[in-house]
Amino acid sequence: MSAPGPPAPLAEPAERVGRGWTVSLSLANGALWAGWYGPIQILLALQAAALAPPGTSKESVLAWVTGLGAAVSLLSNPLFGALSDRTTSRHGRRTPWILAGALGGAAALALLAGAHTVAVMTVGWCLVQLTLNAAFAALTAAVPDRVPHRQRGAVGGWLGAAQILGVVVGTGLATVAGGVAAGYVACAAFTLLATLPYVLLHRDPALPRTARPALTWRGFLAGFWLSPRRHPDLGWAWLTRFLINLGNALALLYLLYYLRDALHRPDPDGGVLILTAVNGATLLATVVVGGIWSDRAGRRQPFVLWAGVIMAAGTLLLGTWQTWTGALCAAALLGVGFGVFTSVDFALMTDVLPAAAHRGKDLGLINIANSLPQVAAPALAAPLVNHLGGYRVLYAVAAAIGLVGALAVRRIRGVA
């Protein structure tokens, strides 16, 4: 007689998920990104300008508020992923956190709508980061919980497309709502309402209490270190994601200044908008297609490798072909590469997770490879531009970093 298998939440999924599940999960993902980027793109900057005390610049206020929020985000994603791993609610491991995070995020956005001091603004934004990261950690972990390996590229592609559209929706709501307070309320309503279809329509398998490991604080805290020696594939996959994201962040950070100072565009703001539109269009064109193609080929590494090479070529183009035409071509190449990378790298990451029991925590740690480059890029870019050779050197270094990241994927042994 064969031994009983693991409970459903800890088993490797074998049954393909349907379109309804993918659409509702993608809608929820887009809702969270709308809740983040309506404030980041528009509302926080307007609020900082209105609330900055005399003698304090709006730039400083915005930097402090977003910096503290980023620190909260960095810590909360793996923490809530770990908590969702241990949740034994009858509604499943992930769904309670997705719902609680969306409710809390909407409430925190409403708090920001009524903020009349920098202190309240700071608390409100930190709460937005805390709660939406709780939902995001659980939502991301739902993919390896429910989606078989050969379908994860496609699902990752739809999640990537939803992320981009969520940024657009959030920015649009913040722009057309009719004021800062109304913009926050609109983002809050969309974040909550667009999350509900997944929460209400799809059952999340419950984890039996007997399958939850005993809790010791030492063991819980120790779990937040994943040794690259014990898990080399995960280590190389993390490094790949970090370096490619860092190269992309360096390429895009000073785009406005590049157009103004290197290309001498008469309207650099409008130029950034055009380049962003080109980049977004090519990204959307490849993010789903790349994931589906990877699933059908049964391979991940070649897609990540060539996506990184294409992005490195686009970045190098900015440094070597310093014309408006060159910038347009570079934006298109960066979008093509990052679209494929977004979907296939997500699938690759879920394929190298060490154990089903702590997928949420591990994915939270992996997500640091997305956020850390946003912190590191300004520290690297400023001296390169100001003291070490200008934009040609900046884009050469960014291309080299991205290329090293692409080559690092070849060191992964457990995923083709």
What pLDDT does residue 387 have?
Answer: 82
Burial of 373 (0-12, 13-18, 19+ CB in 10 A): buried
Nearest-CA neighbor of 253 among 375, 404, 129, 161? 375
Alpha-carbon separation of residue 402 from 54, 308, 408 (angstroms): 42, 6, 10
What mean pLDDT do residues 335-344 have?
Answer: 94
What pLDDT does residue 265 have?
Answer: 87
Q: CATH number, domain at 176?
A: 1.20.1250.20
- Measured from the Cβ of residue 30, the count of other Cβ atoms closer than 10 Å reads 26
What pLDDT does residue 123 have?
Answer: 96
172-176, 178-182, 185-189, 211-215, range with greatest mean pLDDT: 185-189
Q: Which two tokens stand for residue 292?
A: 């589906």
Same domain for 245 and 319? yes
**Mean pLDDT computed over every residue of the chain:** 90
Of 165, 187, 203, the last residue of a domain is 203
Each residue of 81-114: pLDDT tens digit? 999 998 999 999 999 999 999 999 999 999 999 9
Same domain for 147 and 249? no
223 in any annotated domain? no
Same domain for 191 and 252? no
Between residues 119 and 353, the one the model is more confident about: 119
226 in any annotated domain? no
What pLDDT does residue 55 have?
Answer: 86
Task: Give the number of domains in the chain.
Answer: 2
352 in any annotated domain? yes
Residue 408 pLDDT grade (very low, low, confident, very high; cuts 50, 70, 90): very high
Same domain for 246 and 392? yes
Q: Which two tokens stand for residue 274?
A: 């055009």
d(CA 199, CA 162): 17
190 in any annotated domain? yes
Residue % of the chain over a pLDDT of 70: 97
pLDDT reading at 37 higher than 90: no
Quote the pTM value.
Answer: 0.87
Each residue of 353-384: pLDDT tens digit? 888 888 888 888 888 888 888 778 878 888 88
219 in any annotated domain? no
165 in any annotated domain? yes
pLDDT reading at 29 higher than 50: yes
pLDDT reading at 7 higher than 80: no
Each residue of 392-401: pLDDT tens digit? 999 999 999 9
**Widest distance between CA atoms in the chain:** 77
Same domain for 237 and 101? no
Of 203, 224, 249, the last residue of a domain is 203
Same domain for 41 and 180? yes
Same domain for 311 and 199? no
What pLDDT does residue 3 have?
Answer: 52
Each residue of 10-28: pLDDT tens digit? 888 889 999 999 999 999 9
pLDDT reading at 416 higher than 90: no
Of 164, 183, 203, the last residue of a domain is 203
Helix (H) or strand (E) holding 63: helix 58-85
What pLDDT does residue 309 have?
Answer: 96
Residue 306 pLDDT grade (very low, low, confident, very high; cuts 50, 70, 90): very high
SS3 content of the chain, % helix, strand, coil (to 5): 80, 0, 20
100 in any annotated domain? yes
Q: Which two tokens stand for residue 121?
A: 């603004």
Q: According to the 3-state scheme, what is the secondary structure of 76-138?
A: HHHHHHHHHHCCCCCCCCCHHHHHHHHHHHHHHHHHHHCCCCHHHHHHHHHHHHHHHHHHHHH
Query: What Rg value do the Cα atoms of the chain yield, rounded?
Result: 21
Q: Which two tokens stand for residue 366?
A: 């992996």
Same domain for 250 and 167? no
Each residue of 228-245: pLDDT tens digit? 888 899 999 999 999 999
pLDDT reading at 1 higher than 50: no
Query: Can you give the residue range of the structural domain that contains 294?
Result: 232-411
Left, alpha or beta for 178 (phi > 0: left; psi -120 to 50: alpha)?
A: left
Same domain for 58 and 184? yes
225 in any annotated domain? no
Is-contact 94 142, C-beta < 8 A?
Answer: yes
pLDDT reading at 302 higher than 80: yes
pLDDT reading at 2 higher than 70: no
What pLDDT does residue 5 have?
Answer: 65
**Residue length of the chain:** 416
Same domain for 194 and 291? no
Same domain for 257 and 371? yes
Same domain for 260 and 400? yes
